[in-house]
Structure 1
Amino acid sequence: MLVEWRDDLSIGMLEIDVQHKLLFDKFNAFVNAYQNNLDVEEIMRMFWFLEAYAVTHFKEEEKLMQQVRYPDYEKHREKHLAFIDQINLLKERLKAEGISQSVVSAMTNFITSWLIDHISTMDRAIGRFVNSAASPRLP
């Protein structure tokens, strides 16, 4: 189940929007590797790359939130940590069960719904905050 970027997921901050699109690309590369029955090592490499990119993206996003003094930084960071915890659980399941349709389905369902929900709510709030702070105030 591939996930397609939609313009309504844009949060209005180019750097973050580009990173989100790349997350979708990395996720789709993992799914494609599985669907095309690539070597297990290649599928795993795609998943590890997706995970590493997500962690890098979270760090960049958290750095930005700190720079702009985003008021919900801690709550947002907790969501990132919860995502990483869930990914670690899925990795353990993957190690125990191997690559199977049920494991890949669990991974794709979780990642797809999390990305879309997180971007459209939590990340969009960052965009609104930054854009409202940048807009001139009328007397």
Structure 2
Amino acid sequence: MIIWREALSVGVDLIDTEHQELIRKLNDFMEACTKQSGKDKILETLSFLKSYTVEHFSDEESLMQEVEYPDYPVHKQIHDGFVNKVEELERSVLEKGPSVLSTIKLNRLLVDWLINHITKTDVHIGEYIKNREAAS
């Protein structure tokens, strides 16, 4: 289970709220996996991720453009890559059916996203905004 903590905060309320929603869904999925029902929950989680990424990435990308975030193009590529991975995994599950392997892949994808993207990439957006406001 992943607990929201300050290290996950970007410092932008909208983005932090959306990240907290992602953590809740990840925790729901992880709990289902520990109860041996991850295969039953995988399509629901993938469906959530597809709609979540449309809304969240749109919000985050709009913010980056609004504040003229210099790393926007690279950040957008990272978002697009994540969307492609989610879509690829969903296609695989729809074609072959849910499996233990697909639940493991989804679990890894989500945990990796939280650990690497939010704490190592998204956090820079908040820092940039904070520094920009301080310079004004």
TM-score for the superposition, normalised by structure 2: 0.86
Q: Is the 8 Å Cα contact of residues 30 and 38 (structure 2) preserved in structure 1?
A: no
Structure 1: tracts of 5 or more residues without a match = none
Q: Is the 8 Å Cα contact of residues 5 and 24 (structure 1) preserved in structure 2?
A: yes
Distance in 1 of aligned mates of 2:15 and 2:109: 21
Q: Is the 8 Å Cα contact of residues 66 and 73 (structure 1) preserved in structure 2?
A: yes
Distance in 1 of aligned mates of 2:66 and 2:90: 32
Partner-residue secondary structure (3-state), 1:81: helix
* Alignment-derived partner of residue 26 in structure 2: 27
* Alignment-derived partner of residue 105 in structure 1: 104
* Alignment-derived partner of residue 73 in structure 2: 74
Q: Is 1:13 matched with 2:4?
A: no
* Count of residues in correspondence between the two structures: 135
Partner-residue secondary structure (3-state), 2:85: helix
Structure 2: tracts of 5 or more residues without a match = none
Amino acid at match of 1:75: V
* Alignment-derived partner of residue 126 in structure 1: 125
Name the CA shift for 1:38/1:93 in 2 (closer, same or farther; >3 Å). closer
- Greater Cα radius of gyration, structure 1 or 2: 1
Name the CA shift for 1:25/1:121 in 2 (closer, same or farther; >3 Å). same
Cα RMSD of the aligned pairs, angstroms, is 2.0
